[in-house]
Amino acid sequence: MRDYRNLYIERLKKYVREERADRRGDINDRLNFAKNAMLDKLVGSYL
């Protein structure tokens, strides 16, 4: 579970870095990130 949590934090950091690099903030990218984050939470609840 701890490894999973670290993975989630890394993904969040990566997203923040990409967001800073690309200020346009493409809406599709945001939606995809939100979708992936929700999937990660669902998967995490089963681990």
pLDDT value at position 25?
57
40 alpha-carbon distance from chain centroid: 8
The total domain count for the chain is 1
For the segment 17-47, what is each residue's pLDDT rounded down to a tens digit?
A: 776 656 555 666 777 888 888 888 877 776 6
CB contact burial 2-31 (16+ within 10 A = b; e otherwise): eeeeeeeeeeeeeeeeeeeeeeeeeeeeee
Residue 13 domain boundaries: 2-46
Statement: the pTM of the whole predicted model exceeds 0.75: no
